[in-house]
Amino acid sequence: MYFESRSQAGELLARELAPLYRYENCVVLALSDGGVLVGSEIAAALHAMLTLLVIEDIEIPGENIKFGGVSQDGNFTYNSSFSSGEVEEYVSEFHGYLEDQKREVFQKINRLLGDGGLVDHEMLRDQTVILVTDGIDDTTIIDVAVDFLKPIRIEKLVAAVPVVSVPAVDKLHLAADELHILDVKQNFMGTQHYYEDNELPSHEEVIARINQIILNWR
């Protein structure tokens, strides 16, 4: 399945979600800038708040494999697809590099947080949280999001994603209470492959969209 744009994909998901969650106590939690474009359509249709959880990945040097990710609270979450033995091996081999990367990405996150419009725990408490992004290849982004939500008492966790890989949908079945997935790919080609329009807004434009979402309720 291919989409004209992330907004079009969001409209398709909104049609599924609106009969279930319109006017309910919901927050749409985007996990990427592209996810904000998807999520803004859902939030507008549901009359829900939209916010962004900033996540930065850390890759293993030279292997193009995500070792884990850091969320805006500073916690590092390992990619759950690694065994404990693999984690120990990588930590032993790349300890200094990984610690440097954690510090660098957390500094980057703090700079982004300075723009405002981002998530806090109280916004999500006792809400149905709808996780949204534009596509998921590996499980790292799911692992980080679930780790971030662990200390927060929420009503339900719903995942709404246009396109995911098989490992990602397997992980979502374990992590979320309810899934709304438009397509599952055996051979995931990268998120951009599934959209005709791949122009993404700047981070400043993303924050502006989040702050204006109530004006776009329909």
Q: What is the pLDDT of residues 162-208, one digit of tens each?
A: 999 999 999 999 999 999 999 999 999 999 999 999 999 887 788 78
Residue 38, pLDDT > 90, answer: yes
Reduce the DSSP state of residue 151 to 3 states and report it: coil
Q: Residue 42: what pLDDT?
A: 97
Alpha carbons 5 and 95: distance in angstroms, whole number: 40
Q: Give all domains of the chain, ordered by start, each with its CATH number.
A: 6-54+117-216 (3.40.50.2020), 56-113 (no CATH)
Alpha carbons 195 and 189: distance in angstroms, whole number: 11
- What is the phi/psi pair of residue 81, to 5°? -75, -15
Alpha carbons 133 and 97: distance in angstroms, whole number: 28
Q: Residue 130: what pLDDT?
A: 98
Q: What's this model's pTM, rounded to 2 decimal places?
A: 0.89
